[in-house]
A and B are shown apart, each in its own frame.
Chain A
Amino acid sequence: MRIERHPILTFRRGRRVKFFFNGREVEAREGETIAMALYAAGIRDLSKSQKFHRPRGLFCAIGKCSSCLLTVDGIPNVRTCIIPVKEGMRVEASEGNPRLADNVPPPKKFMEPETHRTDLLVIGGGPAGLQAAIHAADMGARVTVLDEAPMLGGQLVKQTHKFFGKRQLHAGVRGIKIAEMLIEEVRRRGIEIFSRTSAVGLFPSGEEKVVDAVEAERYLHRFTARAVLVATGAMERYLPFPGADLPGVYGAGAVQTLMNTYGILPGERVLIVGAGNVGLILAYQLMQAGVKVPAVVEALPRVGGYFVHAAKIRRQGVPILTRHTIVRAAGSGRVEQATVAELDERWSVIEGTEKTYDVDVVALSVGLRPSVELLQQAGCSMRFVRELAGLVPLRDRNMQTTVEGIYVAGDASGIEEATTAMLEGTIAGISAGFYLGHGDEKWQERLERARAELEEFRDGPIGREVKKGIERVLI
Chain B
Amino acid sequence: MKERVVIVGGGIMGLATAYHLARLGAENVTVLERRFAGYGATFRTGTGIRESFGDETNIWMMRESIKMWKALEEELGHPTEYRQTGYMFLLHTEEEMESFRRNVSLQNSLSVPSRIISPEEAKEIVPPLNIEDVLGAAYNPEDGKANPFLVLQGYKKASLKMGVKIHEYSPVEGIVERGGKRVVKTPRGEFEADILINAAGGWSKLIDRMVAVPSHVEPYKHQAIKTEALERGQINPMVVSFKHGGAYLTQDIADGGVIGGVALAEGPTFDMNPTLEYAIEVSRHFTWLIPALKYVHIVRQWAGFYATTPDKNPVIGEVAPGYYIISGFSGHGFMMSPMATKSLAELIVEGGTSAPLDFYDPHRFERGEFREAAIQMG
Q: Name A's B-contacting residues (CB within 8 A).
A: 50, 74-77, 96-102, 104-107, 110, 113, 201, 203, 210, 212, 379
| A102-B127, A106-B291 known; A97+B256 contact, CB < 8 A | yes
Which of B228, B231, B292, B295 counts the most A-chain CB atoms under 10 A from its CB? Answer: B295
Task: Report whether B295 and A76 are in contact in the complex, using a CB–CB cutoff of 8 Å.
Answer: yes
Instruction: Contact check, B294 vs A104: say whether CB atoms are below 8 A apart.
Output: yes
Q: Return the contact of A99 from the options B230, B287, B293, B294 (Cβ within 8 A).
A: B230
On whether the beta carbons of B295 and A74 are closer than 8 Å, the reply is yes
The 8 A-B residue pairs with the shortest CB-CB distance, nearest first, are A100-B292, A104-B291, A100-B128, A102-B127, A99-B231, A104-B292, A101-B292, A106-B291
> Within the complex, what minimum Cβ distance (angstroms) separates A186 from chain B?
28
Q: Give the chain A neighbours of B231 by CB distance below 8 A.
A: 96-100
The answer on a CB contact under 8 Å between A77 and B297 is yes
Q: How far apart are A131's CB and chain B's nearest CB, in angstroms?
A: 29
Known: A76-B295, A97-B255, A100-B292. A106 touches B287 (CB 8 A): yes
Assess whether B296 is interfacial by the CB under 8 Å rule: yes
Determine if B232 and A97 form an interchain contact, defined as CB atoms under 8 angstroms apart. yes
Interface contact A110-B287, CB-CB below 8 Å = yes
Contacts of A110 in B (CB 8 A): 283-284, 287-288
Q: Is the CB of A75 within 8 A of B287?
A: no
| Contact B230–A98 (Cβ < 8 Å) | yes
Binding stretch for chain A, among B30-38, B49-57, B272-280, B352-360: B272-280
Q: Is the interface of B mostly helix, strand, loop or mixed?
A: loop
Per a CB cutoff under 8 Å, which of A107, A113, A210 touches B291? Answer: A107
Q: How far is the CB of B149 from chain A (nearest CB, A)?
A: 20
> What is the distance, in angstroms, from A40's C-beta to the closest C-beta of chain B?
27
Note all chain B residues with C-beta closer than 8 A to A201: 276, 279
Which residues on the A side are within 8 Å of B296 (C-beta)?
76, 98, 100
- How many B residues are at the interface, by size bracket? 20 to 34
- Interface: B130 (CB within 8 A): yes
Query: Do A379 and B128 contact each other (CB < 8 Å), given the known contacts A106-B287, A107-B288?
Result: no
Complex interface residues of chain B between 159 and 210 (CB less than 8 A to chain A): none
Q: How far apart sit A210 and B276, CA to CA, in the bound complex (Å)?
A: 9
Contact of A105 among B280, B284, B291, B295 (CB under 8 A): B291
- B292 and A106 contacting across the interface, CB-CB below 8 Å: no
Q: Within the complex, which residue of B234, B275, B276 is in contact with A100, where a contact is CB–CB below 8 Å?
A: B234
- State A54–B280 Cα separation when bound (angstroms): 36
* Minimal beta-carbon separation of A74 from chain B (angstroms): 6
Q: Which residue of chain A has its CB nearest to the CB of B258?
A: A100
A107 engages B276 (CB within 8 Å): no
User: For the complex, what is the distance from the CA of A107 to the CA of B132, rounded to whole Å?
Assistant: 12
Distance A74 CA – B234 CA, assembled complex (angstroms): 17
- Chain B positions 115-165 with a Cβ under 8 Å from a chain A Cβ: 127-128, 130, 132
Query: Would you give 8 A-B contacts (Cβ < 8 Å), ordered by A?
Result: A97-B232, A100-B231, A107-B294, A110-B284, A201-B276, A201-B279, A203-B275, A203-B276
Residues of the A chain whose Cβ atoms lie less than 8 Å from the Cβ of B288: 106-107, 110
Q: Tell me, in angstroms, the Cα distance from A55 to B270 when the chains sit together.
A: 47
| Chain A residues near B273 (CB-CB < 8 A) | 379
B230 touches A97 (CB 8 A): yes
Chain B: which residue is nearest A95 at the CB level? B231
**Least Cβ distance of A52 to chain B in Å?**
16
Cα–Cα distance between A96 and B279 once the two chains are bound (Å) = 27
Contacts of B253 in A (CB 8 A): none
Tell me how far the C-beta of B292 lies from the nearest C-beta in chain A, rounded to whole angstroms: 4
Q: Does B290 contact A (CB under 8 A)?
A: yes
Closest to B273 in A: A379
Quote the shortest CB–CB distance from A82 to chain B (angstroms).
Answer: 15
In whole angstroms, what is the CA distance A212 to B277 when docked? 11
**B264 interface hit (Cβ, 8 Å):** no
Q: Does B374 contact A (CB under 8 A)?
A: no
Q: Smallest CB–CB gap between A100 and chain B, Å?
A: 4
Select one of A96, A106, A113, A203 contacting B130, CB under 8 A.
Answer: A106
